[in-house]
Structure 1
Amino acid sequence: MGTSRDDDPRQRVVAICSALPEATAESGQHIVFRVRGKTFAYYTDDHHGDGRLTFQCKAAPDERQALLDGDGRRYFVPPYVGPRGWIGVYLDVPDVDWAEIGQLAADSYRMVAPKRLAAQV
């Protein structure tokens, strides 16, 4: 019995991010999502042996801090990109809020996409 898209965090993140205008995905163990060459999100699986599934994206400073303050077990500052304003979300926890993942992806996309494309989201 296979895993449905609704049960598979990788497939759900791909569906969310790929739905954004001109978004591309470079896939391997991890997935990099870009719009016109600019990265707006990552999906990571066991990054450097941490054993976790995560979604990472750019976030406005106030939103990032509110997420971290609100639930430090679900959200984290990711290595490498965290100091540049990124937030991480663990996807291997109960009750992932997929609507919130979609909103975070859209917000991050709007931060890096050309204005014409950002306006479509």
Structure 2
Amino acid sequence: MADLVSRVRAICTAFPGVTEKLSHGTPLWSARKGFVQIWPDGHHDNTFPHLWCAAPPGVQESLIGRDSRRYFRPPYVGHRGWVGMRLDGDLDWDDVEELCELAYRTVTPAARG
């Protein structure tokens, strides 16, 4: 699980202005606002390792519609459009990077352009 955290940390801290803090016992990366949180040991009913990522309107539904095994609506932040991504099974790290970048751009207006 430490490898998962290290890889996601490397992705998120490569973006300008990102800080990391613990939130509810797990890493949360922020750029003025939180944009990615990792749950390496799972959280509540989701006992598998996963991310919660900020996303613009419509992305959550699109990703879940495309692959409901990999993507899900996370508790607490799902109603705001955040999307959950499982980090177990056959994981494509390019997909993880793309989702983290999208999350960063979602909370950082200057990065959207």
Aligned counterparts of 2:42 and 2:98: Cα–Cα separation in 1: 24
Structure 1 position 111 matched with structure 2 position 106: yes
SS in 2 for 1:39: strand
TM-score (norm 2): 0.85
Superposition deviation, residue 71 in structure 1: 1.2
Superposition deviation, residue 110 in structure 1: 1.0
Q: Which residue of 2 aligns with 1:101?
A: 96
Q: Structure 1 regions of 5+ residues with no counterpart?
A: none
Structure 1 position 9 matched with structure 2 position 4: yes
Q: Which residue of 2 aligns with 1:52?
A: 48
Aligned counterparts of 1:20 and 1:91: Cα–Cα separation in 2: 21
Structure 1 position 39 matched with structure 2 position 34: yes
- Identify the range of structure 1 (57-66 vs 101-110) with the bigger mean alpha-carbon deviation: 57-66
- Identify the range of structure 1 (75-84 vs 103-112) with the bigger mean alpha-carbon deviation: 103-112
Q: Structure 2 regions of 5+ residues with no counterpart?
A: none
Counterpart amino acid of residue 96 in structure 1: L
Superposition deviation, residue 48 in structure 1: 3.1
Counterpart amino acid of residue 64 in structure 2: L
**For this pair of structures, how many residues does the alignment match?**
111
Aligned counterparts of 2:68 and 2:55: Cα–Cα separation in 1: 16
Residue 82 (structure 1) aligned to one of 67, 78, 81 = 78
Q: Which residue of 2 aligns with 1:69?
A: 65
TM-score (norm 1): 0.80
Tell me: CA distance 1:73–1:32, structure 2 relative to 1, closer, same or farther (3 Å).
Answer: same
Give the share of equivalent positions with the same residue, in percent: 40
Checking the alignment, whether the CA contact within 8 Å between 2:106 and 2:112 is kept in structure 1 is: no
Larger radius of gyration: 1
Q: 1:20-49: CA deviations, max 9, x gaps?
A: 11111113741111012x111110133236
